[in-house]
Structure 1
Amino acid sequence: MKSRMLSKRVALIATALLAVLTAVTVPIAYAWEGLGSSYQSQYLTRVESRYVETDLARFHYTRIGTGSPVVLIAGGGLWGYSWRDVAPALAAEHTVYAVDLPSQGFTELHREDFAYDLPAMSEAIAAFLDAVGLDRAAIAGHSWGGAWSLYFAEQHPERVEQLVLLDSPGLDAEKAPVTPLFTTPLLGELATNLTTRSFYADSIRGTFHNQHLVTEEVIDELYAPFSQPANRDGFLSLWRNLDYRLTDVGLTRITAPTLVLWGAQDTWLPASQAHQLARRIPNATTTVLPGCGHTVHEDCPAQTNALLTAFLH
């Protein structure tokens, strides 16, 4: 009885402290958020930046190469820059689209009622494919981008030629260790809005095993779009709304040949999930790359590109 009372008291104290912290820091957080980043992307001066208008959003994307279409979808808090090493490698045989979905990069959402859940992100994928005239394409998604791609492939198997999932959640299983930080009311708002460039850089380094690859340019390119209020708000909503029970129950509906690719040193999602996914998806194969972290295609580009080129050939 005493221990139960003590636990309740500790919980009450923690709640009170969080309320005080919120009252003091939230105004600062939103002021900070409004400043954003003044960095101008150097990457976009080296590629052709494109936009396509839809009722749902003004999608930003890049396109390179010729051949059968491949659509690349980056992970949460990232954007098309994440595919800078992958897109040129695939462009020899494919027309490669790297698209920013709502909450990413330079895409501008038009609908205020957008749900930021798996059905909504699947709808966004469909809207982009329609807008650029793709009835069917190979789709590769990383992390959250993989989860969105997975759900889209379950709902629209006729539109997915091949599917690549890179360190992608999709099982009703273990989640990233930082999940409670963003899903807890008030604490999630604080964590999102107080994410400075330095804090963001630490988070990105945590997704790499080869951390020397996380240069100042990489951080600048990735952080600038994330620093925008609309992208931060969408990022937080996704943490709270993505329900992987929906993808888990639909795995057998996937008809496209599927490659599940994972970094063995992924500290966000255990590599064991790669094998579980591949066992559940018809016509799926899996490869786990040693010495690679969660952002496997940026952490180990040479190995990843070789596997993707062979699979999509």
Structure 2
Amino acid sequence: METFDGTDGTQLAYHRTGHGPALICLPGGPMQDSAYLGELGGLSAHRTLVRLDLRGTGGSAVPADPATYRCDRQVADVEALRRHLGLERVDLAAHCAGATLALLYAVRHPERVERLVLLTPSPRPVGVEVTDRDRRELAELRRGEPWFPAAFAAFERIWAGRAGDEDWAAITPFTWGRWDAAARAHHEREASWRHPDAAAGYYADDAFDPVAVRAAVGRLRAAVLLVAGEYDVALPPTRAAEYAGLFPKGELAVQPGGGHQPWHDDPRWFVDTVARFLG
């Protein structure tokens, strides 16, 4: 673990693994320890992964001002990391809610971004709507799975507005391409990497205007790869295609049988796809 100071003096941590040019990696959650990204299925064989622990997570200090958990306020942390690493331009990879931070960084500092890899990104910053019908259509594809009846019943209660906390936990298998022992074990470990208080502030009011962000990404010159999973109910492939189409140099790669963490579901496909894009 290495550290640097954010612009407000908060000590921030990052982790370097692998070989090759740097790839700054931003975790999702939101506000989950970057440890869950691991070595991104072996991408570290092609790139030096620089995993940033967002403020208040992992090895990074808790900020004096909780308002700085807001995603747009953390753009300054990414820029401070770029300067700390001595990079003129960066390649960024970001997962889920971390993609929101990556996009806000790219919009504010377009001259600093060479390539952008969005891994099953949250559609919130650009206003792409994922409907219950979108999710139902994907969920129906999993009817052959042994866990389907209980998980689908929970989804139906969510869609009907009658969900309890246990229902949100019950639909977890729908976010994985393979809900096997390895996936269950990883999901259980993730519980210790979450930070609910920090997460509550990440998408605070006025963090961004989706209309403005959508317009700004339409002017980005950076090459963008959006990786989606065939079964990911968070961002179904049809909506992922809409999202990728917003970028002048955007391309979409849909992992067959993949879920929300594609580096787990098919590491070889994931590494080959992303490494090819990064060059």
- Same topology, TM > 0.5: yes
- CA-to-aligned-CA distance 1:238-262 (integer Å, 9 cap, x gap): 2444543342221123111111110
Q: Determine if the alignment matches structure 1 residue 84 to structure 2 residue 84.
A: no
Runs of 5+ in structure 2 lacking a partner? Answer: 133-164
Cα pair 1:138 1:161 within 8 Å, conserved? yes
Q: Cα distance 1:102–1:300, how it changes in 2: closer, same or farther (>3 A)?
A: farther
Provide the C-alpha distance between the structure 1 equivalents of 2:62 and 2:168, rounded to a whole number of angstroms.
Answer: 23
- Tell me the amino acid that sits aligned with residue 250 of structure 2: A
Provide the C-alpha distance between the structure 1 equivalents of 2:200 and 2:126, rounded to a whole number of angstroms.
Answer: 20
C-alpha displacement of 1:113: 5.1
Q: Determine if the alignment matches structure 1 residue 158 to structure 2 residue 111.
A: yes
Cα pair 1:266 1:294 within 8 Å, conserved? yes
- Of the candidates 259, 266, 269, which is equivalent to residue 293 of structure 1? 259
Provide the C-alpha distance between the structure 2 equivalents of 1:52 and 1:220, rounded to a whole number of angstroms.
Answer: 30
Give me the TM-score of the superposition, normalised by structure 1. 0.68
Q: Cα distance 1:90–1:290, how it changes in 2: closer, same or farther (>3 A)?
A: closer
Secondary structure class of the residue paired with 1:91? helix
Specify the alignment match of 2:83 in structure 1. Answer: 130
Specify the alignment match of 1:237 in structure 2. Answer: 201
Secondary structure class of the residue paired with 2:73? helix
Secondary structure class of the residue paired with 2:272? helix
Q: Determine if the alignment matches structure 1 residue 74 to structure 2 residue 27.
A: yes
Specify the alignment match of 2:146 in structure 1. Answer: none
Which deviates further from its counterpart, 144-153 or 58-67? 58-67
Specify the alignment match of 1:97 in structure 2. Answer: 50
Provide the C-alpha distance between the structure 2 equivalents of 1:79 and 1:246, rounded to a whole number of angstroms.
Answer: 29
Q: Cα distance 1:236–1:111, how it changes in 2: closer, same or farther (>3 A)?
A: same
Cα pair 2:66 2:201 within 8 Å, conserved? no
- Tell me the amino acid that sits aligned with residue 5 of structure 2: E
Give me the TM-score of the superposition, normalised by structure 2. 0.75
Specify the alignment match of 2:183 in structure 1. Answer: 214
- Tell me the amino acid that sits aligned with residue 173 of structure 1: V
C-alpha displacement of 1:296: 2.2
Q: Flag the structure with larger Rg.
A: 1
The count of corresponding residues between Structure 1 and Structure 2 is 241
Specify the alignment match of 2:128 in structure 1. Answer: 173
Provide the C-alpha distance between the structure 2 equivalents of 1:265 and 1:76, rounded to a whole number of angstroms.
Answer: 19
RMSD: 2.7
Q: Cα distance 1:128–1:109, how it changes in 2: closer, same or farther (>3 A)?
A: farther
Cα pair 2:234 2:260 within 8 Å, conserved? yes
Provide the C-alpha distance between the structure 2 equivalents of 1:173 and 1:110, rounded to a whole number of angstroms.
Answer: 31
